[in-house]
Structure 1
Amino acid sequence: MSRPMRALIASRLFPPEVSAGAFRLGALGRALARRGAEVTVLTTRPPKHAPAVADPPGVAVRRWPVLRDRGGNVRGYIQYLSFDVPLIFRLMGRRFDVAVAEAPPTTGLVVLIVAWLKRRPVVYYAADVWTDGVVSMAAPRPVISVIRGLERAVLRGSRGIISVSDEVTARLIELGADPARVTTVGNGIDTAVFAPDVERATDDQYFVYTGTMSEWQQPDIFVRALALIADEHPNVKLRFFGQGSVQSALRSLAEEIVPGRVSFGGVVSPTASAAWIRGAVAALVSIVPGIGYDFAKPTKTYAAAAIGTPVLFAGPGAGAELVRSAELGVAVEFTPEAVADAMRALLAEMTDGRTESRRAERAGWAAEHASLDAVAARVSAVVSQVALARAGKLNKASGASSRPE
């Protein structure tokens, strides 16, 4: 193409929303703009609690009102449809050479259909496997079948598929993705924001949990573990930042078994989150075993590593192995007793100076292996290759070497 590539990103999540998906796509928008692409993002109006941030330079962000749940999330079938249905008309009125779609699969399917009508390729950003998600929530069998069918259709119709880990890649291929179209790019975090030299939020002793509080994480395990060490460590607290479907139950449990020892700070900016992680004894991460998420490597692990704060990981699978192999902290079984023992050990490490002595090493690992900008550069390369491959086919068919469309 003799003119700049026109790239379009369609997602319900985009900065200033505070989520891993929003961070990924914000970084991708910046990376595409740096490549000289004309980038348009079709997304949602952010919730009221979202921090105020400027749109990425060189990226045109077009927002649309959507239905949100009581926590301000676009989460649930009706909420998804409130984004997906208008997206059909928003896409029809846009010119683009390549479209990038992120989950849920309903959004991917909408983008795929409109792109097919316009004869444009789609790159699907598969940061998660939605079929596994609905299985883990014990959804009715017909719902699981519909989601599996939608996800397979999107994977088979996309010219490029982005995966965040080898484990996710394996699941995508099992669902019908063409291995030749899948690129594993890894996961990352903004190492300019999450860095070891940020100022700590407070000098109190606490463990911190940031991000989504959901059924497949069940962070109540950390509250139950705190109750087991509460008398030994009367000044230690838990601090939760974020929101999610189990937050209300989590509050009730905390008031029942460790009153006054657990606080909930709501959704905070990445800068504030980094400050709280910097001062923590450890960052808490959990995955419930056996419900289909054993392959997950939560982004909060990378955030803690980038700051140099140890991770306390409760659960099985790839996330636990990452923490152990990279020596990012402690990974234990998903039981309150195991978590309580890990809390004791990490409190001892903070007291005797071992936590601080390992900070630079952990942050160095994150800078090398988990830079969000590096991940976004790899994704933008895939998007560009898909667009250029289509342009090359058109030029070959028309007998022209290069012709603007």
Structure 2
Amino acid sequence: MASPVRLPRRPSATIVSRIYRPEPAAASLFLGTVADALMARGYRVDVLTVRAPREQGDGSRGERISAFPVLRDRNGYVRGYLQYLSFDVPLALRLLFARRPDVVLVEPPPTTGAVVRAVCALRRIPYVYDAADIWSDAAGHATDSGLVVRVLRRIETFALRGATALVTISQGVVDRLAALHVTTPVTVTGFGADTSTFSYEQRSIEPLFIYAGTYTALHGADLIIEAFARLRESHPEHRLRFIGNGTGQDEMRARAAALGIAGRVEFRDPVTAADLRPQLAAATASLATLHPDGGYEYAFTSKIFSSLATGCPVIFAGVGPTRTFIDDAEAPVGTAVGYEVDALATAMRGAADDPLPAPERQALAEWTAAHHSMRATAERVCDVLDAAHERGSEQ
């Protein structure tokens, strides 16, 4: 009697993140694209995440999603120490008793990375940490407590140093990791747009500027309020729309009211990528900022790729690699200026006077899809996960 044929075992990966699709965020889109790429390579993919708001539906495209209820802030986000703990504490048990994967990909915050390091050490599982930025640097700007920053730094470096490998989006983060004496191998995978969702859509261009995404003191988006007030002196028909959430929204609303422009400044809740695309397609330009004194000067403002993938040019005010990218791009991606009100107002005025025409917007979208696709980035992350899996198999 012939013995049964044994099929080769499928490799398996677990993604650990406090945010995942269908929640509207860059991290959700990115991790979902990584899951898609892993499954295309034959991986069985599990996701340990949080329960999304009921109205957003299910984000699975074949991966098995294990969602756990957590605390959310008043804006509905899992952001803040108590909110992170409500995910991290149950995560320890969820990961400890979950089906054993060959490799784990973990998304910040650092407390989640620390939990993953501890459990993966017990179960002898290699893990890859997504070091898109350095959270303890951000905390140094958000709090005056040196103790908080020191504790977070220890937790973060514990998570970073225990990983088999790190992935990040820019060389600036690599340099910062070296300064922190983190010697874990790191790969710059870049970042890109989800071009399956963000693509060119021909629409009449409206007198509208959009800031889409999170805005905190680190971003310095309040500068946009001041610049828009100056733009309105010569372009009263234009509107400014913030889509997302931010810690400084109350102050920004108050400043808009004080400048007499509250009726032309909108603050809207986060929306899905499919709902954001037509708004970007109709905008004169999208806006992004990065404060020069936030200790975050090496960060790349990855939100610009979603805008560029629709053909919507970007106006960036700030410092760091985003400005270099815009200045050096081989396509009309937009304008980069310093973090200064007059410079930003001048750039907005230029876009309002001479908006990018439809043929050039379409060419910009096609260039972005060819050179800055999130799928290409996800494939590079999968290469790192493959290598970590192979190293774990050899041990």
CA distance in 2, matches of 1:53, 1:338: 43
Secondary structure at the aligned position of 1:230 is classed as helix
Secondary structure at the aligned position of 1:312 is classed as strand
CA distance in 1, matches of 2:86, 2:58: 24
Q: Hey, what does 1:162 align to over in structure 2?
A: 167
Secondary structure at the aligned position of 1:231 is classed as helix
Displacement of 1:53 after TM fit?
A: 4.9
CA distance in 1, matches of 2:379, 2:79: 29
**Residue 74, structure 1, aligned to residue 78, structure 2:** yes
Give structure 1 stretches of 5+ with no counterpart.
Answer: 394-405
CA distance in 2, matches of 1:122, 1:63: 20
Query: 1:138-179: CA deviations, max 9, x gaps?
Result: 441111111111111111110011111111111122223225
Q: Hey, what does 1:19 align to over in structure 2?
A: 25
Conservation of the 8 A alpha-carbon contact between 1:218 and 1:246? no
CA distance in 2, matches of 1:255, 1:72: 25
Displacement of 1:75 after TM fit?
A: 1.0
| 1:108 alignment partner, one of 106, 113, 133 | 113
Q: Hey, what does 2:3 align to over in structure 1?
A: none
Secondary structure at the aligned position of 1:66 is classed as coil
CA distance in 1, matches of 2:109, 2:144: 16
Conservation of the 8 A alpha-carbon contact between 1:51 and 1:268? no
CA distance in 1, matches of 2:143, 2:48: 32
| 2:325 alignment partner, one of 322, 325, 332 | 322
CA distance in 1, matches of 2:115, 2:72: 20
CA distance in 1, matches of 2:390, 2:8: 11
Query: Normalized against structure 1, the TM-score is what?
Result: 0.91
Q: Hey, what does 2:139 align to over in structure 1?
A: 134
Query: 1:65-119: CA deviations, max 9, x gaps?
Result: 1111101111111111110000001011112121111101110010110011011
Displacement of 1:52 after TM fit?
A: 3.4
Amino acid at match of 1:220: D
Secondary structure at the aligned position of 1:162 is classed as strand
CA distance in 2, matches of 1:289, 1:324: 18
Query: 1:345-378: CA deviations, max 9, x gaps?
Result: 111211xxx4434323422331232111111111
Conservation of the 8 A alpha-carbon contact between 1:294 and 1:319? no
Amino acid at match of 2:76: G
Query: 1:5-27: CA deviations, max 9, x gaps?
Result: 12111110101111111111111
| 1:3 alignment partner, one of 9, 13, 20 | 9
Displacement of 1:298 after TM fit?
A: 1.4
CA distance in 2, matches of 1:297, 1:56: 29
Q: Hey, what does 1:285 align to over in structure 2?
A: 288
CA distance in 2, matches of 1:53, 1:292: 37
CA distance in 2, matches of 1:9, 1:330: 36
Query: 1:24-53: CA deviations, max 9, x gaps?
Result: 1111111111111111000001135x6335
Q: Hey, what does 2:239 align to over in structure 1?
A: 237
CA distance in 2, matches of 1:377, 1:10: 18
- The aligned runs of 1:148-297 (5 Å cut-off) are 148-178=153-183, 181-196=185-200, 198-200=201-203, 203-257=205-259, 258-297=261-300
Q: Hey, what does 1:304 align to over in structure 2?
A: 307
Query: 1:263-294: CA deviations, max 9, x gaps?
Result: 12211110111111111111000001121121
Secondary structure at the aligned position of 1:313 is classed as strand
Amino acid at match of 2:233: D
| 1:341 alignment partner, one of 343, 346, 361 | 346
Q: 1:362 to 1:139 in 2, by over 3 A?
A: farther
CA distance in 2, matches of 1:5, 1:377: 16
- The aligned runs of 1:109-124 (5 Å cut-off) are 109-124=114-129
Question: CA RMSD of the aligned region, Å?
Answer: 1.7
CA distance in 2, matches of 1:27, 1:299: 15
Query: Normalized against structure 2, the TM-score is what?
Result: 0.93
Conservation of the 8 A alpha-carbon contact between 2:206 and 2:284? no
Give structure 2 stretches of 5+ with no counterpart.
Answer: 1-6
Displacement of 1:343 after TM fit?
A: 1.0
Secondary structure at the aligned position of 1:240 is classed as strand
Conservation of the 8 A alpha-carbon contact between 2:253 and 2:262? no
Q: Hey, what does 1:87 align to over in structure 2?
A: 91
Displacement of 1:235 after TM fit?
A: 0.7
Conservation of the 8 A alpha-carbon contact between 1:310 and 1:355? no
CA distance in 2, matches of 1:223, 1:117: 50
Q: Hey, what does 1:399 align to over in structure 2?
A: none
Runs (4+) of structure 1 exceeding 6 A deviation are none
CA distance in 2, matches of 1:360, 1:54: 29
